[in-house]
Structure 1
Amino acid sequence: MDRQVVQLAVRYHPLPPPHNIRIESVPVPTILHPDDAIVKIQLSGLCGSDLHVYRGHQDVNETHICGHEFIGHVVALGSSFHPGSPSSRPALYASLKIGDKVISPFTVSCGECQYCRFGFTARCVSSLVFGSPALQGAQAQYVRVPLAGGTLFSLSTSVDDPLSLSHALSHLPDPAVLLLADVLPTGLFVVLQAFTHPKLAPIFTGIPWPRNVGHHAKGALLSGNTLPYLSSADRVLDVGIVGLGPVGLCATLALLDYLTRADVRRRIVAVDPNQSRRAKMQKIYDALPEDAKGMSGDEFVVADIADAPKVVQAWGRGGCHTVLEVVGSPSALTLSLALLAPSGVLSSCGVHQAPQIPFAGCELYNKNVSLEFGRCSVHSLFVPAVELLLRRRDVLGAIGESGVVDRVIPLRDAVRAYAKFDQGVYGKVVFDPWT
């Protein structure tokens, strides 16, 4: 391992709140468990969920290193990593080596418990989130990765194999690859959480509910009813997206990609109160090729909070079939419910805090609303997110005004970057800890 004993890090201090982050020198982490890895960070990210702590909205009472997105190189490994590691353990324990380039999901997962085996790695029994008092974060020069064999992805294996992950990503800039640590899989997750719901199946299949669910899709209902297939006019999907920060941009690109490949017509309203975020969304949409924007008659409208309900009302369907909420605040949920049609699906990936959900039970009952909430299982969605990144490398691979990654700046400038990101002046920020 590098002999450096202290490192530069961004640390949150709970007192006095809010906005109390500082650039400090702290000890370099060391191996504490045989399953640990120490990673020398090449790039780390600033994420919207970091702002919950920064603003004092999250119940965090301990000083800690911030950040949960990183890409880097392994500089130390625990004793569990060796070629003779049991085949029952995640394969990386047998193959990961010092010097390998790696990327990490924002949560730790063992790869061995039932939740991990089912694919729900975000709820691993040993799960920890980087950038919290329980696990020091990645806005630093080094980071300790617990359960590294079940958590990390190697970008160094089979570089010469044209079918390998590392080869596929080698043609993209590393700041774009860093999107795979959180925001791109999370954007994909909030879309899949909605689109795999049975309530949206009639639009994708043309078959009314519940015949499109389970064995009923193969035959008539037991009652003998023969409801007609849906017309093409019925099969136009109305979608709302609330929040156009980095995750909202990724969710929009995942949404458009999914619907284009599903050959489904769509009307989309993308909502944010911040003019600069709306402008970035429009710029990214305009940069897409025409075949990624759908069919003739499809709509894509970027709107502020006041205008969004008017857009949806003009569609004449009583609301959106689904609304994707990517903010994590009561006001965003209130707007999402207002945009949602009866029997709609509200899919949320926002990191919600202490305030209660601003819905009365009767509001949900009277609209037959389905709620889908939660944290993305990045480890399980990593490969589909890679495929999305490669398909949309034209915009996801861009750095600057026309890309999701807004800028790469020195870690030493993190205090200013947090303030600008909080104000909506900066979009997605990537930190270089060595400049």
Structure 2
Amino acid sequence: MKAIRWHPPSYDIRVERIAVPEIQQPDDAIVKVTLAALCGSDLHIYRGHGGVDKIHTCGHEFIGEIVSLGSSYGSHAEGRPKLYSNLKVGDKVVSPFTVNCGECHVCRLGYTARCPEGALFGTPVLEGGQAQYVRVPKAGGTLFNLSNPSTWSTTLSNEEKERALTGLADTSLLMLADILPTGVFAALQAINHPKVQPTITGRPWPLCLSSGTGTTGNEVPFTTDDRTLTLAIIGLGPVGICASVSLLDALATRRLPFRIVAIDPIESRREKMKAVYAAIGESGKGSGQFIVHSIEDAKLIVKDWTGGIGCTAVLEVVGNTSALTLAYDLVQAFGVITSVGVHGEPPLPFTGRQAYNKNVSFDFGRCPARAMFPMAFDLLVKRQDVFGGVGRPESLIDKLVDFDSAAESYRAFEKGEVGKVIFDPWK
């Protein structure tokens, strides 16, 4: 089969012919890949920053069809995740970017990205999905069966769900592998953090965390500014755009007042974000203020908005120390920084004393994409105005290309010359 392969030490992408993967364990599935995507996380290894020194197949976002199943699958698989009983050859599936068993304590709690038996696609540990076929270990706990939507929860009715699955393009459904769940995860962590609750509830800390209304004490009433969420999103690549759309939708749904500044140093990404925002229907925008700025302009606008106090919460969607420094500079005392960018070896760019002096809370780490799938799916259906097309100014996906374009696509994506790229392995 054809596969996109990375060669050490860096910046070396080749399309090669390798053996089609086979079933190795009873819980395995083999998926014929119909589409695979290029993600910002792929760039860490591409640049030689991932601590990887072995040739391997790239990619952790893919959608396809089941062509082979291990012996664990069938009606005999009682007491296990539903997919072990009902997944069939021919079913259409999308995979989260990490494998997870779906059965252990960690998975049962919903923290599927850190399953002890987990692995990340597109690494020497687990060959990636930028290939014509891919092996999925623990597939019954990992995959989403798009041919049988009864295996996940949703706020949509069964009729709406079936209609959505029939009408959504594979290029749109592919976003469920990583970027959309990760964007939803970033937004969800920010607005549900305990330190954000005084602004949302209109009650001071710690009364905002109690269930009762209580009596009035020595507290002074909140002002309009006190009740307005001031938020920053750092990084407007594909995940940053997904986080922005998700955050806007959540704030609109809950009818919360807000001010958001979306930040990126690259003008083309800022223009993409502006086009996406313009295309979002009114139901997904809310009644707050959303602006897009460069780094220096963003610092000034936050200072102006808050009188120098800073943001209620900052979403960091880049994965480098300069982005974290900016997040720390922008966030208020008793604020929240939610970081879903993939960080490498350099130490965090602030000291314990700095963290102490601001009472700042940090949420770091990988999105549990398997657990986030239902919320991401519902948002995907709602926001087809921006998630439904390819190649338009407001489309999250810029290009659909063949494998022969792989090396150039990696180069252009790394340089910020192109946004989301999807590969067709059979083109």
Instruction: Tell me if the contact between 2:98 and 2:120 (Cα under 8 Å) persists in the aligned partners.
Output: yes
Cα distance in structure 1, aligned partners of 2:302 and 2:328: 12
Task: Give how far 1:134 is off.
Answer: 0.5
> How far does the alpha carbon of each residue in 1:320-379 deviate from its partner, in whole angstroms, 9 at most, with x for none?
111100111011111111111111100000010011111111111111110000111111
Cα distance in structure 2, aligned partners of 1:158 and 1:379: 14
3-state SS of 2:119 partner: coil
Of 129, 133, 138 in structure 1, the residue corresponding to residue 129 of structure 2 is 138
Q: Which amino acid aligns with 1:109?
A: N
Of 290, 295, 299 in structure 2, the residue corresponding to residue 300 of structure 1 is 290
Of 342, 353, 359 in structure 1, the residue corresponding to residue 350 of structure 2 is 359
Cα distance in structure 2, aligned partners of 1:203 and 1:398: 36
Cα distance in structure 2, aligned partners of 1:102 and 1:229: 52
Q: Which amino acid aligns with 2:204?
A: P
> How far does the alpha carbon of each residue in 1:179-218 deviate from its partner, in whole angstroms, 9 at most, with x for none?
00100000000111111111001122111111121xx331
3-state SS of 2:390 partner: coil
1:187 to 2:183 alignment: yes
Cα distance in structure 2, aligned partners of 1:367 and 1:191: 22
Cα distance in structure 1, aligned partners of 2:390 and 2:354: 42
Equivalences for residues 278-427 of structure 1 within 5 A: 278-295=270-287, 298-317=288-307, 318-400=309-391, 401-427=393-419
Structure 1 residues 62 and 74, CA gap change in structure 2 (3 angstroms):
same
Count of aligned pairs: 419
TM-score, normalisation: structure 1: 0.93
Equivalences for residues 33-432 of structure 1 within 5 A: 33-86=25-78, 88-157=79-148, 162-163=158-159, 165-213=161-209, 216-220=210-214, 225=217, 227-228=219-220, 230-295=222-287, 298-317=288-307, 318-400=309-391, 401-432=393-424
Structure 1 residues 164 and 292, CA gap change in structure 2 (3 angstroms):
closer
1:21 to 2:17 alignment: no
3-state SS of 2:99 partner: coil
3-state SS of 2:224 partner: coil
Q: Which amino acid aligns with 2:239?
A: V
3-state SS of 2:97 partner: coil
Task: Give how far 1:227 is off.
Answer: 2.8
Q: Which amino acid aligns with 2:179?
A: V
Of 227-236 and 136-145, deviating more is 227-236
Q: Which amino acid aligns with 2:253?
A: R
Cα distance in structure 2, aligned partners of 1:8 and 1:395: 31
Task: Give how far 1:167 is off.
Answer: 3.9
Task: Give how far 1:292 is off.
Answer: 2.9
Task: Give how far 1:170 is off.
Answer: 2.0
Name stretches of at least 5 consecutive residues in structure 2 with no aligned partner.
151-156
Q: Which amino acid aligns with 2:212?
A: K
Structure 1 residues 96 and 167, CA gap change in structure 2 (3 angstroms):
farther
Cα distance in structure 1, aligned partners of 2:93 and 2:365: 26
3-state SS of 2:245 partner: helix
Cα distance in structure 1, aligned partners of 2:373 and 2:329: 32
Structure 1 residues 91 and 291, CA gap change in structure 2 (3 angstroms):
closer
Instruction: Tell me if the contact between 1:156 and 1:166 (Cα under 8 Å) persists in the aligned partners.
Output: no
Task: Give how far 1:303 is off.
Answer: 0.9
Instruction: Tell me if the contact between 2:249 and 2:286 (Cα under 8 Å) persists in the aligned partners.
Output: no
Task: Give how far 1:45 is off.
Answer: 0.7
Q: Which amino acid aligns with 1:313?
A: K
Instruction: Tell me if the contact between 1:208 and 1:229 (Cα under 8 Å) persists in the aligned partners.
Output: no
Task: Give how far 1:166 is off.
Answer: 5.0
Q: Which amino acid aligns with 2:260?
A: I
Cα distance in structure 2, aligned partners of 1:385 and 1:103: 13
3-state SS of 1:193 partner: helix
> How far does the alpha carbon of each residue in 1:60-94 deviate from its partner, in whole angstroms, 9 at most, with x for none?
111110000010000000000112211x1111011
Q: Which amino acid aligns with 1:178?
A: L
Task: Give how far 1:231 is off.
Answer: 3.6
Task: Give how far 1:228 is off.
Answer: 5.0
Task: Give how far 1:233 is off.
Answer: 3.2
Task: Give how far 1:430 is off.
Answer: 0.7
1:9 to 2:6 alignment: no
Instruction: Tell me if the contact between 2:281 and 2:385 (Cα under 8 Å) persists in the aligned partners.
Output: no
3-state SS of 1:149 partner: helix
Task: Give how far 1:294 is off.
Answer: 2.6
Cα distance in structure 2, aligned partners of 1:327 and 1:234: 29
Name stretches of at least 5 consecutive residues in structure 1 with no aligned partner.
1-6
3-state SS of 1:321 partner: strand
TM-score, normalisation: structure 2: 0.95
Percent pairwise identity: 50
Q: Which amino acid aligns with 1:321?
A: T
Task: Give how far 1:396 is off.
Answer: 1.2
Q: Which amino acid aligns with 2:202?
A: G
Of 30-39 and 383-392, deviating more is 383-392
